Amino acid sequence: MILSTYDADALHRSFGIELGDIEMGAVESMGVGAAWGKIAPGQHSDPHQHDETETFVIVSGQGDLIVDGKTTPISSGMVTQFEPFETHYLHNTGSDDLIFATFYWRDSIRASKVAVTGDGRRFGDRPIFAFSTPPTPNGGLHIGHLSGPYLGTDAFVRFQRMNGRTVWHLAATDDHQSYVAECARREGRSPEEVAVHYAADIAATLALMDIEPDQVVHTSQDELYRPALQAFFSRIIGDGRIVPAEGAALFDGDTGRYLYEPYVHGRCPTCGAGAGGNICEECGEPNVCVDLIDPQSSTGTVPPRAGTITRYMLPLHELRADVLEHHHVGRVPVRVRELAHRIFARERFDVALTHPSDWGVPPVQPDVPDQVIWVWIELAFGFLWGIETLGRRLGTGWRADAPSDDWKIVHFLGYDNTFYHSMLSPALYKLASPEWTPDVDYHLNEFYLLDGDKFSTSRRHAIWGKDILGPHSVDGIRFYLALTRPETQRTNFTIAEYERVVQDTLVGTWQQWLADLGGRVEKQYGGVVPDAGIWTPEHTAFLARLESRLAEMTVCLGQDGYSLNLAARTLTGIVEDTLRFSRLESAVAGLGDWRDEARTAIALELAAARLLASCAAPVMPRFAARLAAALGIEPPAQWPRQVTLIPPGTHLDLAGQVFFGAPPEPARLAEPERLSWLSGLVRQTLRLAADQPVADATLVSLGAESLQAIALQYQILAATGADVTVQDLLGENTVAQLAALLTAEERP
């Protein structure tokens, strides 16, 4: 017998609380560990996860148990058990010590199963908000942008949705960036005009890429946004810890203008690489401009001078523990944790929260006249605002000033934004909503290079999405970007390599196989799917191979191991496995003695094509839907649990399908096709249901507002070359009449 009695004097500090050993003797040799735990009133254990299954027995006290963002009240006499890898911690909400006993044991089968299937892990039935980094509306989107956060978020959301998760793609434009004001100065118009112009341009490009955010906020056009942002700022400074303070700053040597962000560049004080104001894209570390080596003003000819200015200053180093605790909650890649380690190794780091500018939102406090709230505070707030705006539409009552632990936030961002998303934002959340434990997954990408050099909007060294994307190139682009996007290191884009992959892989291998398969079914089975007959061991082995490809794809696209590089390779793997199988089976395909085996081989090849359609759906939704249609099945809407045969008797339309062929000009589409294209575009832009009839309705009757008309105008222009005016769009024309108008605009 083993007897262990709780002893408050024999505890040691671990996992953020007091723990005491329980010696389990013989039981321990069977792999069960045990301990006493004590949490003082108001304290909580560190959130963590592990491969062991674990049981808590609550002995006395009361509090909350938080598991993967779900809070459950607990009190003495209760027992709870955790699955492997569930993020869990206890929070003592009572006035006495919370005392519990924990028992844990390793169950490898259980842990592996959870790791492989993923099945809702960490997400469950929580609302999932997937954010693509808000683009700065100072230019269009180039394929460097598209390959990173935008394709990443889109395929992620599509996969989660196919698995029945409650998930949205939320986007915004970061209108108050100083880069917008700088672009306006260059282009000789107002920042508002620049923001509206490029917001429409960005929307048009995303539509061409088959990326359909569920919501887009334009911060300079949303009238509710401004006071809500000011209220957020007031909450940040509410407890009096952050006050206006004098600090060093940089000024133009000629004009005396305050220098930050686009107005100054130099060398990074940390790594010595060329860096802009406030952030170094090389090492990811922030700077405060005045610490730049050899700083130069973007407009001045004489060296800048250092001076002082009074701004609201955040002592970020004081929030070190809070930020690091946040990094234990969600999916926080090593690159984030390593950068945090470097930044918080600084003895102190004071971050200015306001800057002199005439573009942006000023605080309501009168202390810093002529200053605006720094736009990176808008980033942190904008995510919460996006959730509130979505909630208003859905009637859920979500509020930016009362964020919920139940919210699962997923960010897709470039490495150069890591500091803002994963360090500054959680620090601001701690100040604005101390009770909230934000649960955030971060998905980073590195730089995508173009011909060996960084993409640059300001230098126009870029391939713009709208120049390369069209209905017949979008699948090829999405596949190529998925395959080569810089997930773990910088990668390089060249047009020649992209064209080679489309020709060799997509046209020369995938399409060739599908057309050949369609031809064989046409010839041998009259274009109708045969029933599988007798299965040879090779057939069974091929089915097993396809099952392992499906399992691989499920891991590649899942929330833990998300990688489009690996997903694209797996898609190609499905086709290569099937070609190998098909070549072997072809030896007996025409022999009468083996016809029952031959039809099994064909049924399996068609099952592989069906699997390809399902697995490609998040990455190449247009191709997936077209392939499914050619196979006589519904577009893939659910993620498959296993590989299944196409029902025998199904009519195919596979032979002669061109999935990745030469692009016909969209403007030359036959009229019914153009109406169907325009109807789809209208539904998407106006956020209508996919089956809502629109052909005989005017855009105004469908609820179109002028900004949506501008967005439509850009998208029509980009896709067809037809310049339909906003007056035409918002006038008496029905959608069908507008489609006819496109015909009239068609160029000879």
Q: 144 vs 266, which CB is nearer to Zn ion?
A: 266
Cα–Cα distances in angstroms (integers) from residue 641 to residues 121, 216, 524, 559, in the given order: 16, 33, 31, 17
Q: 446 vs 516, which CB is nearer to Zn ion?
A: 446
Q: 273 vs 402, which CB is nearer to Zn ion?
A: 273
Q: Assess contact for 135 and 153: CB atoms under 8 A.
A: no
- Smallest gap from residue 338 Cβ to Zn ion (A): 14
Q: 244-251 and 62-67 as β-strands: parallel, antiparallel, unpaired?
A: unpaired
- Smallest gap from residue 554 Cβ to Zn ion (A): 38
Q: 90 vs 339, which CB is nearer to Zn ion?
A: 339
Which residues, other chains included, contact 674 with Cβ-Cβ below 8 Å and sequence gap of 6+?
666, 739, 742, 743
Q: 272 vs 703, which CB is nearer to Zn ion?
A: 272
Q: 343 vs 613, which CB is nearer to Zn ion?
A: 343
Q: 268 vs 616, which CB is nearer to Zn ion?
A: 268
What is the phi/psi pair of residue 425, to 5°? -60, -50
Q: 236 vs 343, which CB is nearer to Zn ion?
A: 343
Q: 89 vs 415, which CB is nearer to Zn ion?
A: 415
Q: 281 vs 516, which CB is nearer to Zn ion?
A: 281
Q: 283 vs 646, which CB is nearer to Zn ion?
A: 283
242-281 residues near Zn ion, rule: CB under 5 A: 268, 270-271, 280
- Smallest gap from residue 284 Cβ to Zn ion (A): 7
- Smallest gap from residue 167 Cβ to Zn ion (A): 35
DSSP notation for 668-728? GS-HHHHHHHHHHHHHHHTT--TT---TTSBTTTTT--HHHHHHHHHHHHHHH-----HHH
Among 611, 616, 646, which residue's Cα sits nearest to residue 632? 646
- Smallest gap from residue 292 Cβ to Zn ion (A): 10
The pair of three-digit structure tokens given for residue 427, joined into one six-digit string: 């620090």
List the x/- string, 479-518, binding to Zn ion by CB under 5 A: ----------------------------------------
Q: CB atoms < 10 A from the CB of 492, how many?
A: 14
CA distance 717 to 714: 5
| Helix, strand, coil percent content, the chain, rounded in steps of 5 | 40, 20, 40
DSSP tag of 148? I
- Smallest gap from residue 341 Cβ to Zn ion (A): 15
388-407 residues near Zn ion, rule: CB under 5 A: none
Q: What 3-state DSSP class applies to 147?
A: helix
Q: Assess contact for 423 and 340: CB atoms under 8 A.
A: yes
Q: 98-105 and 17-21 as β-strands: parallel, antiparallel, unpaired?
A: unpaired
Query: Which residue among 283, 449, 515, 655 contacts Zn ion (CB under 5 A)?
Result: 283
- Smallest gap from residue 190 Cβ to Zn ion (A): 34
- Smallest gap from residue 443 Cβ to Zn ion (A): 22
DSSP notation for 454-488? E-BTTTTBS-BHHHH--TTTHHHHHHHHHHHS-SS
CB under 5 A: which stretch of 36-44, 166-174, 283-291, 605-613 binds Zn ion?
A: 283-291
Q: Does 292 bind Zn ion (CB under 5 A)?
A: no
Q: 51 vs 282, which CB is nearer to Zn ion?
A: 282
Among 145, 142, 117, 119, which residue's Cα sits nearest to residue 132? 145
CA distance 196 to 176: 12
- Dihedral sign (CA 226, 231, 235, 240): positive
- Smallest gap from residue 489 Cβ to Zn ion (A): 17
Q: 264-267 and 258-259 as β-strands: parallel, antiparallel, unpaired?
A: unpaired
Which residues, other chains included, contact 74 with Cβ-Cβ below 8 Å and sequence gap of 6+?
58, 62, 63, 64, 65, 80, 90
Q: 280 vs 316, which CB is nearer to Zn ion?
A: 280
CA distance 547 to 260: 54
List the x/- string, 646-685, binding to Zn ion by CB under 5 A: ----------------------------------------
- Smallest gap from residue 291 Cβ to Zn ion (A): 11
- Smallest gap from residue 375 Cβ to Zn ion (A): 21
Q: Which residues pair with 636 in a beta bridge?
A: none
- Smallest gap from residue 133 Cβ to Zn ion (A): 20
- Smallest gap from residue 461 Cβ to Zn ion (A): 21
Q: Assess contact for 447 and 418: CB atoms under 8 A.
A: no
Q: What 3-state DSSP class applies to 66?
A: strand
- Smallest gap from residue 280 Cβ to Zn ion (A): 3
- Dihedral sign (CA 147, 149, 154, 160): positive
- Smallest gap from residue 279 Cβ to Zn ion (A): 9
Q: 342 vs 523, which CB is nearer to Zn ion?
A: 342
Q: Does 282 bind Zn ion (CB under 5 A)?
A: yes
Cα 294-298-304 angle, rounded to 5 deg:
45
Q: 268 vs 339, which CB is nearer to Zn ion?
A: 268
Q: Does 695 bind Zn ion (CB under 5 A)?
A: no
List the x/- string, 360-389, binding to Zn ion by CB under 5 A: ------------------------------
- Smallest gap from residue 268 Cβ to Zn ion (A): 3
Q: Let me know if 180 is exposed, middle or buried by CB neighbors in 10 A (0-12, 13-18, 19+).
A: buried
Cα–Cα distances in angstroms (integers) from residue 365 to residues 228, 234, 235, 284, 567, in the given order: 14, 8, 12, 32, 50
CB under 5 A: which stretch of 224-232, 282-290, 472-480, 671-679 binds Zn ion?
A: 282-290
Which residues, other chains included, contact 457 with Cβ-Cβ below 8 Å and sequence gap of 6+?
136, 138, 139, 142
**Total residues in contact with Zn ion, by rule CB under 5 A:** 6
The pair of three-digit structure tokens given for residue 379, joined into one six-digit string: 């980033």
Q: CB atoms < 10 A from the CB of 608, how many?
A: 24
Q: 278 vs 563, which CB is nearer to Zn ion?
A: 278
Which residues, other chains included, contact 681 with Cβ-Cβ below 8 Å and sequence gap of 6+?
207, 712, 715, 716, 719
- Smallest gap from residue 337 Cβ to Zn ion (A): 18
Q: 59 vs 283, which CB is nearer to Zn ion?
A: 283
Q: 37 vs 286, which CB is nearer to Zn ion?
A: 286
Q: Let me know if 357 is exposed, middle or buried by CB neighbors in 10 A (0-12, 13-18, 19+).
A: buried
- Smallest gap from residue 293 Cβ to Zn ion (A): 10
The pair of three-digit structure tokens given for residue 574, joined into one six-digit string: 């499905």
Cα 130-134-139 angle, rounded to 5 deg:
145
Contacts to Zn ion by CB under 5 A: 268, 270-271, 280, 282-283
